Amino acid sequence: MNDVKKVVLAYSGGLDTSVILKWLQDTYQCEVVTFTADIGQGEELEPARAKAEKFGIRQIYIDDLREEFVRDFVFPMFRANAIYEGEYLLGTSIARPLIAKRQIEIARETGADAVSHGATGKGNDQVRFELGYYALEPGIKVIAPWREWDLTSREKLLAYAESHGIPVEMKHKTGGSPYSMDANLLHISYEGKVLEDPAREPEEDMWRWTVSPEAAPDQAEYLDLEFERGDAVALNGRRLSPAQVLEALNKLGGKHGIGRLDLVENRYVGMKSRGCYETPGGTILLKAHRAIESITLDREVAHLKDDLMPRYASLIYTGYWWSPERRALQTLIDDTQAHVNGWVRVKLYKGNVMVVGRDSKTDSLFDANISTFEDDKGAYQQADAAGFIRLNALRMRIAARLRRK
């Protein structure tokens, strides 16, 4: 294993990646570079630096990627209205290609010949990270400790940490959260422990970002979102950066109990997995984006997008963000957004997001003179519909006549 001279580790500073750091040093006898990404997980990241320094790490990267995450990954995905298996807004999935990209960049900057991650051999993240690595740096060596070592349980990890002088916070020693959690600016996820029984309702104290709908305010709240080329650029008349938009929507959505999801999903590796998610800002954003598209997109373009969306969402879920097919779909999707400009008003109330208004002064295809129930002064010739219907019914009329014979 001494063919590896330097490895870039995706490092959170938690128990798993701290053990991995030491394991890499001992097993591969190589230099380790740590990389910690700030994508809005809401945790203090400087302790990760202190831990890395304790291990003698000389090159430590702690990068604020929040704006890049929302601008270049979350927003392009929301232009497609992407949802996996009808419900999941892909909060974990969309973060992995960014982390992989930055890891490869750091490997190039530091002359590293390998990268490493803390994903297990049972999950989707190993696929997402590694497909990204190979797409961006085909010859990179990938080290996935969970597929190599014999530290197959929490007890073994703690024992390894103790025997190697790895600091373990009290929360880890006493059990900590009963869930495996992942957070970023788009969502927070919960898996494992009590959630491994799909019949059990999640405990109320599990949720971190949202109040229960029952505890949400009794007064509805209205929001105005402004869109330019399919992206949200302003909230209640105030222009904000991409990350600021999502952060503000998370707070407002969480206040009103919006964005909770309890899902049994199909992992790419073949098993079913139960996960719970909080995506308050994303839930609002998706509803508002579809609303502005409803008045600015041509009917067939909108329907084409809906046809392609499940394929696009699946590509993100399974880790193919950097694939040529996802890039090709993105080009099409982004082209459809050229005229998706205007504003949407939504009402937030006890777990619900309701669209109550939308308008585009420059790109609306809604013509009240044609669609009105009042006198349209000849704008639409209703008699034309008879021939339209007869032509569209022709194939069914022919078949019906044949069956009668």
State how far the alpha carbon of 111 is from the alpha carbons of 86, 139, 174, 327, 337, in Å: 43, 13, 40, 28, 40
Q: Which of 66, 79, 96, 128 is catalytic?
A: 96
Q: Which of 180, 294, 323, 364 is catalytic?
A: 180
Is 274 annotated as catalytic? no
The dihedrals phi and psi of 50, each to the nearest 5 degrees, come to -60, -40
DSSP 147: G
The dihedrals phi and psi of 273, each to the nearest 5 degrees, come to -140, 140
Q: Which of 116, 125, 128, 260 is catalytic?
A: 125
Is 96 annotated as catalytic? yes
How buried is residue 370: exposed, middle or buried, by Cβ count under 10 Å (0-12/13-18/19+)? Answer: exposed
Residues 242, 67 contacting (CB under 8 angstroms): yes
DSSP 220: -
Pairing of strands 60-64, 31-38: parallel
Is 153 annotated as catalytic? no
- Provide CB contacts within 8 A for 17, sequence distance 6+: 9, 10, 11, 118
Which residues in 242-266 are b (16+ Cβ under 10 Å) and which e? bbebbbbbbebbbbbbbbbbebebe
Is 267 annotated as catalytic? no
Which residues in 80-93 are b (16+ Cβ under 10 Å) and which e? bbbbbeeebbbbbb
Alpha-carbon gap, residue 9 to 400, rounded angstroms: 67
Q: Which of 12, 16, 182, 189 is catalytic?
A: 16
State how far the alpha carbon of 242 is from the alpha carbons of 97, 176, 277, 356, in Å: 18, 33, 21, 23
Q: Which residues are catalytic?
A: 16, 96, 125, 180
